[in-house]
Structure 1
Amino acid sequence: TRAIASVLSGRTEPSGRLPVSVPRRPGSQPSTYLAARLGHSSDVSSVDPTPAFGFGHGLTYTAFEWSDLVVEHGRVSTDGEFTLSCTVRNTGVREGTEVVQVYLHDPVASVVQPVQRLIGYVRLGLDAGRAARVRMTVPADLASFTGRDGHRIVEPGDLELRLSASSTDARLTARVTLTGPVRTVDHTRRLHMSTATEILMEAP
């Protein structure tokens, strides 16, 4: 009760994020965002599963601005890694927490994939007016999936890395490319994105 009162009164800044999608219409159930293209709103069905609040959604008493996306390494081999960075600024009047969620979208693959899937995130606590530069390193292994022959593979091709506040709120999109042959990965594959954060001290 005290925790709820603290959040509602503004004494405590909320920073949690939804682990499910909250349905828009009565009678639906909380669902996953990990659906293939036909599992989303489309012209082939009269059912619109678009959630009221998507996976990863969260509220805050301040506001954040995302900008200055830079893709340092956007074309790498199937055993390489992408590097990108962006700036997140607290534009409100009080401190708060933002979560930069990175979703991978593979528009063309030999096996049907979810439209997007979360591959990493970084949590930023920022005072009012402060900004942070976030640098993300995404190994190609995170684009791997189980192929038709049962082996986990990384395929060459174009991808999107969506920097988002939730699964339904993409703020910045990096278009990147994997090159070279299809590569089979095993238990030594890299499972995590790495991040580095620098707090920018200049005035807003």
Structure 2
Amino acid sequence: RLPITIPRHGGQIPIFHDHTPTGRPLGEYHRQPGAHGGRRYLDCAGAPKWRFGEGHGYTAFALREARVLSAHAEAGVRLSCTVANAGVRAGETVVQVYVADPVAELSQPVRRLVAFMRVSLDAGASRELQIGVEARALAYCHRDGARRVDA
């Protein structure tokens, strides 16, 4: 699987998800042809050629029963999910946890990777994972220079 995002055109550089939102997000409205075709300020496709994590493996995985076990501003977040190898071969996958805060005091990235866990499973096997996200991974620098989590 790809460890980076590969742009479709040079004009898309830099192309990543850890950026602040703009006034014109690239939503479904911008992808549809129609009466507003000339008002999109786009001269190429907005999607990258290949996304981070894209690629083929030798098996398929399913993520089920994702839930929050605990969430505290001072202690962080504890998550749980079940990962199943739905394929016919043993394999590895990486479960990733992203955070988004569109209503933060200061503008935040569209999404940030805050935790991940690699898991190896035999064909047909499943496993429950618990992933911790530390409070410092959820914090950001406020106007006064202090790093803290919005409650």
- State the TM-score, normalizing by the size of structure 2: 0.78
3-state SS of paired residue (2:136): helix
Displacement of 1:147 in angstroms is 1.0
Relative contact order, higher structure (CA 8 A, sep 6+): 2
Structure 1, unmatched stretches of 5+, are 1-15, 157-204
**Aligned counterpart, 2:33:** none
Displacement of 1:24 in angstroms is 3.0
Equivalences, count: 138
- Residues in 2 aligned to 1:117 and 1:37: alpha-carbon distance in whole angstroms: 12
3-state SS of paired residue (1:114): coil
- Residues in 2 aligned to 1:30 and 1:55: alpha-carbon distance in whole angstroms: 13
1:135 alignment partner AA: Q
**Runs of 4+ deviating beyond 6 Å:** none
Higher strand share: 1
> Which of 54, 57, 62 is equivalent to 1:60?
57
Displacement of 1:40 in angstroms is 4.7
Structure 2, unmatched stretches of 5+, are 31-38
**Aligned counterpart, 1:184:** none
- Residues in 2 aligned to 1:67 and 1:80: alpha-carbon distance in whole angstroms: 25
- Residues in 1 aligned to 2:57 and 2:25: alpha-carbon distance in whole angstroms: 28
Q: Does the CA-based 8 Å contact 1:21-1:30 persist in structure 2?
A: no
**Aligned counterpart, 1:41:** 26
Q: Does the CA-based 8 Å contact 1:33-1:55 persist in structure 2?
A: no
Displacement of 1:45 in angstroms is 4.5
> Which of 100, 103, 116 is equivalent to 1:108?
103
Q: CA RMSD in A?
A: 2.3
